[in-house]
Structure 1
Amino acid sequence: MTQSDSAQRFLFENTDMRGERVQLDQSLQDALAPHAYPDAIRTLIGEMASAAVLLSTTLKFEGTLTLQARSNGPVSVLMVECTDKRTFRAIARWDDAQLSPTDIDLHALLPEGQLVMTIDPVKGKRYQGIVALTGDTLGECFASYFEQSEQLPTRLWLSSNGEKAAGFLLQALPAQVEADKTARAERWEHLTVLADTLKDEEQLELPTEELLHRLYHEEDIRLFDAEPVKFHCNCSRERTGSALTTIDPADVREILEESGQIDLDCQFCNTRYIFTEEDVNKLLGAGETRH
């Protein structure tokens, strides 16, 4: 039986190699439910969400990691935010006029796209890295990102069918156990070559313990307890009201004249927040909203 909606860390004993496995089921369905996404986009969001959770586990910080793919093609924006609490939310923007039912290839959906990773810690400086979407899969694009950014060697394998998703990560840690560079490189190649044999159905269906046994039955692996992963949108009436105060007061007055109220929808979860003229007066000050 699979351990759905969880992230599980593991270590290769007596090495400087670690890994992480994530499985998304109900959490992914919750993130997708507010939107009528085409199948191809549902699949991409599943892969991106898996990657966001996996990468957030590699960072020792309190805050938010955001992955965003952008292009001028059928899919203009694909974004997932993941917190250090392993909660995530996702959004996609696409053009029906450009989107074909046969477009399932990454480059057909996001031609000449860019992948942006942003880290917003509660304490410390914001970090952002950008890489072109040149790989055939999102997993390959992330591998290119880590190669170009000169961070720790990291590989991701991502699977999604639009209903559930899964991801597998391997990372080479700074040398402590094995100092010989050649030996480290050989072990890294050995572990990643075996991970390259992963099939989508294995990723999506097998429990982590069974999956690791199939791949690395000759390795001594320490598997840690699984931690829950959930969909969660952090929108609120207070935050939405704060956003309203950034709009030109003249535009606010015009909307109130036409509709008698202002409706603002969260782009992630589609929750609607309604602000009456009285609400707006309290937010902006009565003098700013009167004629």
Structure 2
Amino acid sequence: MTHGQRIAWDDTVLPFQLDKSDIRGRFARLDGTLNKVLAQHDYPAAVEAAVAEMALLTALIGQTIKLRWKLSLQVRGDGPLRLIATDYFGPSEEGEPARIRAYASYDADRIKADAPHFPQIGKGYFAVLIDQGDGMTPYQGITPIAGGSLSNCAQTYFAQSEQIPTRFALVYGESHIPGEVAEWRAGGIMLQHMPKASPLMANEGGTGEAGVLQPEDILEGEAAENWSRVNILLDTVEDIELIGPQIAPTDLLVRLFHEETPIAYDAQAVSFGCTCSEDKVRQSMSIYSAKDIAHMTTDEGNLTADCQFCGAHYVLDPSTLGFEAESVNEQSQ
């Protein structure tokens, strides 16, 4: 098997429908994209795993947003793993890849590199933000950190905020192939049932941790039976089937759900991409006065800014920044 054949389905998200059960889903595999995301920083192993899980969740959830929209996921906690932030930028045009970026902030003195990452987040929240563009109010939903994994937090978010039963099956880690450099691989399936009506509304509380809604609180009757049956089928998936590369996603969907009549649609390519620029740094500085800018200036007489996502380093002339930039320039002439 050649390298090209081995990664034919990598860095893609495949949407599908299970017609018999009225369930939609997405299948994602990340390879080069995930490696580029992680290569921007020298994270401890536990932080790398957390970023990998969030990047995979972002790819699966982000595939549903429209062209030119942005989806952001954010986790904040009071533990040594303080922050994980990801962005998914919808394609600018049909046929173009979506872009993903991610970074984490952590306490290097307290983080346990070889321990599981989720407990190191501590207490906090999982947030989803959708930016529809200029002139539109961003949507934001928040749910508490709970459930033992970031994927469980995402499932809780959809049940609690959207009342959409959701299930994730994820696997991620470093792939060690003899004779090759170790690289990160990730794969996962996301399932969602779209109920016509929920028997239990959000303001009544649910049966989950801290009273959040669970799928069994939302579904009943035939819909509940369909959801249970499909989840039992998903439980049979093996890690190697999710990350590949030996089995194609379309073949795996048939193996798992052949009695549910799976229909696959066009796959969406994803790649690493950052939108930072000097112009955006200047725009972010436009709210500050010359006095404020002076406090941010280095001993060398410059103002510097670093992108937390891609590590880009910007060095700017303070006299050209802030809402008083023109008057500063006039005074210097």
Match of 2:215 in 1: none
Inter-partner Cα distance in structure 1 for 2:233 and 2:103: 33
Match of 2:17 in 1: 11
The counterpart of 1:209, out of the listed 250, 256, 268, is: 250
Q: Could you say what secondary structure the match of 2:259 adopts?
A: coil
The counterpart of 2:234, out of the listed 164, 178, 195, is: 195
Q: Could you say what secondary structure the match of 2:260 adopts?
A: coil
Q: For the Cα contact (< 8 Å) 2:83–2:105, is it kept in 1?
A: yes
TM-score normalised by length of structure 2: 0.78
1:36 aligns with 2:57: no
1:84 aligns with 2:90: yes
Q: For the Cα contact (< 8 Å) 2:127–2:142, is it kept in 1?
A: yes
1:185 aligns with 2:224: yes
Structure 1 residues 213 and 264, CA, compared in 2 at 3 Å: closer, same or farther? same
1:139 aligns with 2:151: yes
Match of 2:177 in 1: none
Counterpart code for 1:76:
R
The percent of aligned pairs where both chains have the same amino acid is 30
1:111-131, Cα deviation, whole Å (9 max, x unpaired): 113101111112643211111
Match of 1:271 in 2: 312
1:113 aligns with 2:124: yes
1:153 aligns with 2:165: yes
Structure 1 residues 40 and 276, CA, compared in 2 at 3 Å: closer, same or farther? same
The counterpart of 1:67, out of the listed 65, 73, 78, is: 73
Structure 1 residues 265 and 216, CA, compared in 2 at 3 Å: closer, same or farther? same
How many residues of Structure 1 are paired with residues of Structure 2 in the alignment? 286
The counterpart of 1:167, out of the listed 169, 177, 188, is: 188
Match of 2:111 in 1: 99
Counterpart code for 1:218:
E
Q: For the Cα contact (< 8 Å) 2:286–2:322, is it kept in 1?
A: no
Inter-partner Cα distance in structure 2 for 1:104 and 1:195: 24
TM-score normalised by length of structure 1: 0.89
What is the CA-CA distance between 1:21 and the residue it aligns to?
Answer: 0.7
1:46-78, Cα deviation, whole Å (9 max, x unpaired): 111111121122345752111101011111100
Inter-partner Cα distance in structure 2 for 1:288 and 1:64: 36
Inter-partner Cα distance in structure 2 for 1:62 and 1:128: 18
Q: For the Cα contact (< 8 Å) 1:280–1:289, is it kept in 2?
A: no
Gaps of 5+ in 1: none
Q: For the Cα contact (< 8 Å) 1:52–1:82, is it kept in 2?
A: yes
The counterpart of 1:47, out of the listed 34, 40, 53, is: 53
Inter-partner Cα distance in structure 1 for 2:193 and 2:233: 15
Q: For the Cα contact (< 8 Å) 1:47–1:167, is it kept in 2?
A: no
Counterpart code for 2:125:
Q
Q: Could you say what secondary structure the match of 2:299 adopts?
A: helix
1:158-201, Cα deviation, whole Å (9 max, x unpaired): 221151222211111345xxxx9522211111111221333333
Q: Could you say what secondary structure the match of 1:217 adopts?
A: helix
What is the CA-CA distance between 1:278 and the residue it aligns to?
Answer: 5.6
Q: For the Cα contact (< 8 Å) 2:63–2:268, is it kept in 1?
A: no
Structure 1 residues 257 and 218, CA, compared in 2 at 3 Å: closer, same or farther? closer
The counterpart of 1:223, out of the listed 242, 264, 272, is: 264
Counterpart code for 2:58:
A
Q: Could you say what secondary structure the match of 1:260 adopts?
A: coil
133-142 or 73-82, which deviates more: 133-142
What is the CA-CA distance between 1:110 and the residue it aligns to?
Answer: 0.6
The counterpart of 2:274, out of the listed 228, 233, 240, is: 233
Gaps of 5+ in 2: 1-5, 92-97, 175-183, 197-218
